[in-house]
Structure 1
Amino acid sequence: MSKPVTSLASRVADQLRDQLTLGELLPGQRLSEEAQAQRMAVSRNTLREAFRMLTNDGLLVHEANRGVFVATPSLDAIIDIYRVRRCIEIPVLKAAHPHHPAVARMAAAVEAGRRCKDQEDWRGVGNANMDFHAAIVDLADSPRLTAFYGNLSAELRLVFVALGTARWLHMPYIEMNSAILKQLQNDTGHAAADLLETYLAQSERTVLAAFSDCNRN
């Protein structure tokens, strides 16, 4: 069976999703249809279709007579994102093979995070962290799961961008990622999954506390 042809609008939506995941678009930012179409060298009709796709995914918001805006995360959304992450990442890690090709990508992400930390490039640290967890999901060898997690990663990055200070959000997890990787490489996926569960619980508490503080100020 031949692969379905990916539409231009889908590819544009993927590019915008990548920009969200990399922290290049900000929560609440208005996206100019004209400027974005010129920047991406596509027609406005194609861009509108891509906007529609991302609006359906909850990453963009269309406001009548105002335009299209990057979504702003809510407390309920953050809780649900972490709930879904636990449902996906932990079982995948438990069942993972230590010599799967994605393990090398996990290792590369850990090293990239360390390099960015040394350069005090906290956005780069965040990108490396996103790459690490995307590689965990790729251990499942499921294109559908990978695509779904890509959308979740974009939502999660909006949360981090909304909180502003990236250093304290990402730095503690560089070595936690390294510890998870080491357990997996030693063929102890269950131990790696236990570490990841602790990681996600700590990260969720930190993010929720920071989000609550931001909304009180």
Structure 2
Amino acid sequence: MNGAGLSSPSLTARIAAALRDQLIAGELKPGERLSEAALAARFDVSRNTLREAFRLLTKDGLLRHEPNRGVFVAVPSAASILDIYRVRRLLECKALARAYPGHPAVARMQAAVTEGRARREARDWQGVGSANMRFHAAVVDLADSQRLSDFFAQVAAELRLCFGQLHDPELLHVPYIEMNAAILADLEAGRPEAASQAMERYLTQSERMILAALARASRIDG
């Protein structure tokens, strides 16, 4: 184990990235309390290193610290969701509008659509959600900007936390598998502007569905 003392920035960043990947994969749920001891053992790092990683993710809005209680996975608000979708429109629609069919990221979009369909057949809704995240990450990769791709990783983690608050993951994810496929088909056919417009409609529908589902869940829980 990496013992006591100062942790290296690169190690801290790697642990933060690993935790962010768990959020994107839906393995950590909104409101979940994180066990410092368990995660330090899992990653084979000191608690100091883990706390530094927690601080990075808290700054990003993915975790929250409660005095005398510990560190918890954040629970996005409706305002956060609106902002996330505002950012997604700027990133994804623009990336598609300027893309070309032969871009290497298109193959990753294809693989994500194939995986999403396979996960649907297996009724693995968490797997469907993870495939969907990979599809949209590949869309942002069309912009050929590592900074934008890195930024989207944070957005994707916040988005998965939004999904994690909903009680019906099948209803949330299934309609968008074929919408992803249709966007991909437009791009492959050399219609990037049509793909961009389809993504705009997709994001509007998705945003409305999430906000409506959260409102229903709030009424039920209340």
**TM-score bucket (shorter structure):** over 0.9
Instruction: Supply the AA of the counterpart residue of 1:175.
Output: E
Are 2:218 and 1:201 equivalent residues in the alignment?
Answer: no
Q: Deviation at 1:6?
A: 6.4
Provide the residue aligned with 1:97 in structure 2: 100
Instruction: Supply the AA of the counterpart residue of 2:203.
Output: L
Contact 2:29 2:73 in 1 (8 A): yes
Provide the residue aligned with 1:147 in structure 2: 150
Indicate which of 175, 181, 184 corresponds to 1:178.
181
Indicate which of 118, 125, 147 corresponds to 1:115.
118
Provide the residue aligned with 1:64 in structure 2: 67
Aligned residues: 213
Provide the TM-score with structure 2 as the length reference.
0.94
Contact 2:167 2:217 in 1 (8 A): no
Indicate which of 82, 102, 120 corresponds to 1:79.
82
Q: Deviation at 1:165?
A: 1.7
Provide the residue aligned with 1:50 in structure 2: 53
Q: Which runs of 5+ in 2 are unaligned?
A: 1-7
Q: Deviation at 1:216?
A: 1.3
Q: How far apart are the structure 1 equivalents of 2:130 and 2:29?
A: 15
Is the partner of 2:168 in helix, strand or coil? coil
- Structural RMSD (CA): 1.0
Q: How far apart are the structure 2 equivalents of 1:72 and 1:175?
A: 29
Identity, % of aligned pairs? 59
Provide the residue aligned with 1:131 in structure 2: 134
Is the partner of 1:69 in helix, strand or coil? strand
Q: Deviation at 1:18?
A: 0.3
Provide the residue aligned with 2:165 in structure 1: 162
Is the partner of 1:14 in helix, strand or coil? helix
Instruction: Supply the AA of the counterpart residue of 1:75.
Output: A
Instruction: Supply the AA of the counterpart residue of 2:37.
Output: E
Q: How far apart are the structure 2 equivalents of 1:65 and 1:143?
A: 38
Runs of 4 or more, structure 1, over 6 Å off, are: none
Q: How far apart are the structure 2 equivalents of 1:67 and 1:173?
A: 36
- Report Cα offsets for 1:9-52 as digits up to 9, x if no partner: 00000000000000000111111111110111111111011000
Provide the residue aligned with 1:213 in structure 2: 216
Is the partner of 2:144 in helix, strand or coil? coil
- Report Cα offsets for 1:116-170 as digits up to 9, x if no partner: 0111111111111000000000011111101110000000001101113210100
